[in-house]
Amino acid sequence: MPTGYTAIIEDGNPTFKEYALGCARAFGALIHMRDDDLSVEIRPRVADTTYEEKRLKEVTADLAALEKMTPEALEVYVADLNRKAIKEWEQRALEKADIQAKYDKMKAQVLAWEPPTPEHQNLKKFMLEQIQISLPYPTSSRPKPISAREYRTSQTAYMMERIADLVKSIQATKDRAEQSNKWVKDLVESL
């Protein structure tokens, strides 16, 4: 029974070049064409860096905005971030406490339950295990307010690192496309 690559041998009289180029679609350099019909002409791989370039512009703009922010404006901004962080932490703590109380209530009921037969002991054990593995993680410690200076320093370092990572990612994507296209060119020239 033919595969998607060998069907052309049974269905027609392909040249070696046609067969080799069809099989080459299973390899990384032409993986972008693996689902295309074999009659579709080989096309170069395009380095799609749209997402990375968009993020690079956004992070660069965020860094520029942070650098332009006056100390007073930064103080107000960071104070708002600190308030939001504490409010979110308090909300999560309340939610976790509510969930913990529900599990504690059910656990007490399971512990109080006397299984009707020894064969039901494993059910009780299983019920307790399920509760134990489902318990919410303890609430982390209350977030400590960060100063405007600490925020500027940490965010600048983070954004600079992110920019470097995005630049490397864009270049790596372009390099992979170039290598793939060279692989295909070398293959075609050898045929």
> Which stretch, 23-27, 49-53, 184-188, has highest mean pLDDT?
49-53
Question: What is the model's pLDDT at position 113?
Answer: 96
Nearest partner of 134 among 106, 112, 156, judged by Cα: 106
Backbone angles phi and psi of 15, in degrees to 5 = -80, 165
Q: What confidence category does residue 57 fall into, taking pLDDT thresholds of 50, 70 and 90? A: very high
Q: Of 130 and 11, which is predicted with more confidence?
A: 130
Q: What confidence category does residue 33 fall into, taking pLDDT thresholds of 50, 70 and 90? A: confident
The 10 Å CB-count burial string (b at 16+, else e) for 8-19 is beeeeebeeebb
Torsion angle in degrees (nearest 10) through CA of 138, 144, 149, 152: 20
Question: What is the model's pLDDT at position 25?
Answer: 85
Q: What is the mean pLDDT of residues 61-70?
A: 96
Question: What is the model's pLDDT at position 18?
Answer: 87
Is 80 exceeded by the pLDDT of residue 38? no
Boundaries of every domain in the chain: 7-48+182-190, 50-181
Do the Cβ atoms of 37 and 25 come closer than 8 Å?
A: no
Q: What confidence category does residue 34 fall into, taking pLDDT thresholds of 50, 70 and 90? A: confident
Question: What is the model's pLDDT at position 4?
Answer: 81
